[in-house]
Amino acid sequence: METRSAVAAGASIRLSRVSKIFPSPKGPVEALANVELTIAPGEFVSILGPSGCGKSTLLIAIAGLEPPTSGTISIAGRIVGAPRRETAIVFQDATLLPWKSALQNVLYPSEIGRQPRSAHEPKARALLQRVGLAGFEDRRPKQLSGGMRQRVALCRALVQDPDVLLMDEPFSALDAITRDEMAELMLDLWGEGGGRTAVFVTHSIHEAALLSDRVVVMRRRPCEVIADITVPFARPRRTTIVDDPAFVALCAKLRGLIEVSMGRRSNSAA
Our CA angle for 131, 90, 236, nearest 5°, is 50
- List C-alpha distances in Å: 229 to 31, 101, 253: 22, 41, 10
Average confidence score pLDDT of the chain: 86
The answer to whether 249 touches 258, Cβ cutoff 8 Å, is no
Q: Are strands 13-22 and 29-39 parallel, antiparallel or unpaired?
A: antiparallel
Q: Residue 52: is its pLDDT beyond 90?
A: no
Q: Residue 1: is its pLDDT beyond 60?
A: no
pLDDT of residue 4: 36
> In this predicted model, which residue has the larger pLDDT, 118 or 230?
230
pTM of the shown model: 0.88
pLDDT, mean of residues 173-199: 81
For residues 58 and 54, what is the distance between their CA atoms, to the nearest angstrom? 6
Q: Residue 170: is its pLDDT beyond 80?
A: yes
Reported as a pLDDT band with limits 50, 70 and 90, residue 256 is very high
Query: What SS3 state is found at 223?
Result: strand
pLDDT, mean of residues 89-104: 92
Reported as a pLDDT band with limits 50, 70 and 90, residue 176 is confident
For residues 156 and 232, what is the distance between their CA atoms, to the nearest angstrom? 31
For residues 36 and 211, what is the distance between their CA atoms, to the nearest angstrom? 22
Reported as a pLDDT band with limits 50, 70 and 90, residue 265 is low
pLDDT of residue 90: 92
Phi–psi pair at 169, nearest 5 degrees: 45, 55
Q: Residue 2: is its pLDDT beyond 70?
A: no
> Which top CATH class is 4-86+162-269?
alpha beta
Q: Residue 102: is its pLDDT beyond 50?
A: yes
Q: Are strands 225-230 and 78-79 parallel, antiparallel or unpaired?
A: unpaired
pLDDT of residue 8: 54
Least reliable range by pLDDT among 41-45, 129-133, 142-146, 257-261: 257-261
For residues 133 and 41, what is the distance between their CA atoms, to the nearest angstrom? 30
pLDDT, mean of residues 54-60: 89
Angle between helices 117-130 and 146-158 (to 10 degrees): 140
pLDDT, mean of residues 219-227: 81
3-state helix, strand, coil in the chain (%, to 5): 35, 25, 40
pLDDT, mean of residues 51-56: 80
pLDDT, mean of residues 152-172: 90
> In this predicted model, which residue has the larger pLDDT, 113 or 267?
113
- List C-alpha distances in Å: 30 to 20, 75, 114: 6, 24, 39
pLDDT digits 0-9 by tens, 3-45 = 333 445 788 999 999 999 988 888 888 888 889 999 999 999 9
pLDDT of residue 6: 45
